[in-house]
Amino acid sequence: MIRRLLVSFLAVVSMATTVLAEPKTLIVAVLKFGTVNWELDTIAHNGLDTANGFALDVQGMAGGPAAKVAFQGGTADVIVSDWLWVARQRAAGKDYVFIPYSKAVGGVLVGKDSTAQSLADLKGEKIGIAGGPLDKSWLILQAYAAQAHGFDLAGETEQVFGAPPLIFKSALSGNVTAAINFWHFMAKMEASGMRKLVDISQAAEALGLDPETPLLGYVVKGEMLARDPALVQGLAAASRAAKALLAQDDAEWDRLRPRMNAKSDAQFEALKDGFRAGIPAPGPIDEAAADRMLQLMVKLGGEKLLGSATSLPKGTFLQGED
């Protein structure tokens, strides 16, 4: 009898240990065809999630707003957004935390036959802009044009706003003279023969901002960080490990190529180079530099862009050890 009880007890302990040993699932809701999927695929394929104490469950979404609804509604643990959005949410009382993912930004491109040498040369021309009037790149370029050239970029040009694929096609077809697009569409546009007129990082630096500040990142809830800091740090560690692999291993990129929608070798190489250029340096984010960027965005976009945020809210960034 005693022996049977002991065996039963040990069986229960063994089952409990097995359950505890199973990695916790992290549901990540991201744009179905977004470039972050390349990193998430690398994490899952190489077991970097389980090596860091979690199991990755990627949920493809139709767009950024749908991902945010899933996150805010509790059906997703992680999304990808920019830290300015996180700052806005924190200022509104929502405890969201940003984990750096990429510093890659877009730029302004013109056709290979264009004679434009600066933004001022676009006077009277039509500019295609991915996003809307409050797109952060568009705001930075307006401030840069005013500072560098005394040029009213919004007032002296015609703007066409649209989704990145639409702006991509409009630029290649010549329906717009210049285009402002996300970095991966910009890479494809350059590979197709377009020329970069201004890089957003160049404009940001001229305005006194730090181009090394990562704009995009994973967003988690502060309650998860407080409840299970090892889980959140595990996500950060897996992301860094994937980036280290993608920074060096061309074979990993060859494996990813089928999902990258590269139409040519030139596009594939441009996408690979662009991703690598966007990998943030390890270590904590310079919060003073981020605050300068936020305050410029407040000046340019006001409450429509940043709500009640007027300075960087404490706790916006995950500042764990690298």
Residue-by-residue pLDDT tens, the chain, 322 positions: 443 433 344 344 333 333 445 789 999 999 998 999 999 999 999 999 999 999 999 999 998 899 999 999 999 999 999 999 999 999 999 999 999 999 998 899 999 999 999 999 999 999 999 989 999 999 999 999 999 999 999 999 999 999 999 999 999 999 999 999 999 999 999 999 999 999 999 999 999 999 999 999 999 999 999 999 999 999 999 999 999 999 999 999 999 999 999 999 999 999 999 999 999 998 899 999 999 999 999 999 999 999 999 999 999 999 865 4
| β-pair partners for 158 | 126
Looking at this protein, which amino acid is placed at residue 60?
A: G
Rounded Cα distance, 86 and 84, in Å: 5
Contacts of 172 (CB under 8 A, 6+ apart): 189, 192, 194
Does any domain span residue 236? yes
CATH number, position 141: 3.40.190.10
By three-state DSSP, how is residue 60 classified? strand
Pairing of strands 78-82, 107-110: unpaired
Tracing tokens 């995950």 back to the chain, one arrives at 318
Residues 182 and 114 in one domain: yes
Cβ(185)–Cβ(165) under 8 Å? yes
Residues 99 and 113 in one domain: no
Does any domain span residue 12? no
Domain interval for residue 266: 24-103+212-306
Residues 84 and 218 in one domain: yes
Residues 271 and 229 in one domain: yes
By three-state DSSP, how is residue 286 classified? coil
Which of 180, 206, 232 corresponds to the end of one domain? 206
Residues 217 and 295 in one domain: yes
| β-pair partners for 95 | none
Which of 206, 232, 251 corresponds to the end of one domain? 206
Tracing tokens 């910009």 back to the chain, one arrives at 186
Looking at this protein, which amino acid is placed at residue 192?
A: S
Does any domain span residue 57? yes
What domain count does the chain have? 2
- The C-alpha R_g of the chain, in whole angstroms, comes to 22
Residues 231 and 254 in one domain: yes
In this prediction, residue 33 carries a pLDDT of 87
Is pTM beyond 0.85 here?
A: yes
Does any domain span residue 291? yes
Tokens at residue 141, please?
């370029």
Q: φ, ψ for residue 290 (rounded to 5)?
A: -65, -40
Residues 48 and 125 in one domain: no
Does any domain span residue 78? yes
Residues 95 and 138 in one domain: no
Rounded Cα distance, 201 and 2, in Å: 72
Query: For the chain, how are helix, strand and coil distributed in percent, rounded to 5?
Result: 50, 20, 30
Does any domain span residue 41? yes
In this prediction, residue 21 carries a pLDDT of 58
Does any domain span residue 254? yes
Residues 52 and 195 in one domain: no
Does any domain span residue 294? yes
Residues 85 and 118 in one domain: no
Residues 119 and 200 in one domain: yes
| β-pair partners for 181 | 107
Query: Looking at the chain, which runs of residues are DSSP E strands?
Result: 24-31, 54-61, 78-82, 96-102, 107-110, 126-130, 158-162, 178-181, 195-199, 216-221
In this prediction, residue 9 carries a pLDDT of 41
Rounded Cα distance, 298 and 290, in Å: 12
Residues 164 and 87 in one domain: no
